[in-house]
Structure 1
Amino acid sequence: MTLGKHRVRRFTQIDVCYETSKSLEMVEQCPTNATIFQERSAKKTCDLYPSCSGIPLVYHCVSYKKGLAEVCAPRDQITGFCCALYDEGVGRVVEDYTRPCSNCSFRYPSDNIVKYPQCIAPPKTTFSDNDTKESAPCLNGRKRGKRHAECSGVLNENAGDWKESDSSIDAYVYTIAPPVIFIVCLTIVVTYCKGKKKLENPDDNEHAEEKLLKKSPVHGVKTTCLLINKE
Structure 2
Amino acid sequence: MMKNIVILTVYVIGQLNYSNEASPPLEKRFTEEDICPISETTLEKVDSCPRNNVTIRERSERKNCAKYEPCQGDPLVYHCVRHENYLVEVCAPKEIIIGFCCAEFIKEVGRVQADYSMPCLECPFHYQSNDAWKYRTCTGNAEHNKTFEEATGKFEEATGKFEEATGKDPNISSGNLLVVYIILPAVLMITSILFVVWKVKRAKYPNQKPPSLS
TM-score by length of 1: 0.51
Q: Identity, % of aligned pairs?
A: 44
Question: Aligned AA for 1:43?
Answer: R
Q: Could you say which structure has the greater relative contact order, defined with CA pairs below 8 angstroms and 6 or more residues apart?
A: 2
Q: Kindly state the Cα deviation for residue 93 of structure 1 after the two structures are TM-superposed.
A: 0.6
Q: Kindly state the Cα deviation for residue 66 of structure 1 after the two structures are TM-superposed.
A: 1.2
> Aligned to 1:34, which of 39, 53, 61?
53
Q: Kindly state the Cα deviation for residue 10 of structure 1 after the two structures are TM-superposed.
A: 0.9
The aligned residue for residue 11 of structure 2 is none
2:73 aligned with 1:91: no
Q: Any gaps of 5 or more consecutive residues in structure 1? A: 129-231
> Aligned to 1:125, which of 141, 146, 153?
146
Return the index of the structure with the highest Cα Rg: 1
Distance in 2, Cα, partners of 1:27 & 1:36? 14
Q: Kindly state the Cα deviation for residue 125 of structure 1 after the two structures are TM-superposed.
A: 3.0
Question: Aligned AA for 2:57?
Answer: Q
The aligned residue for residue 46 of structure 1 is 65
Q: Kindly state the Cα deviation for residue 118 of structure 1 after the two structures are TM-superposed.
A: 1.4
Question: Aligned AA for 1:25?
Answer: E
Residues 124 and 8 of structure 1: CA distance in aligned 2, closer, same or farther (over 3 Å): closer
Q: Kindly state the Cα deviation for residue 114 of structure 1 after the two structures are TM-superposed.
A: 4.1
Question: Aligned AA for 2:103?
Answer: A
- Aligned pairs for 1:107-118 (under 5 A) are 107-118=126-137
> Aligned to 1:17, which of 18, 28, 36?
36
- Aligned pairs for 1:1-231 (under 5 A) are 7-122=26-141, 123-125=144-146
Cα pair 2:27 2:113 within 8 Å, conserved: no
Question: What value does the CA root-mean-square deviation take over the aligned residues?
Answer: 1.8
Residues 6 and 84 of structure 1: CA distance in aligned 2, closer, same or farther (over 3 Å): farther
Tell me how many residue pairs correspond in the alignment: 123
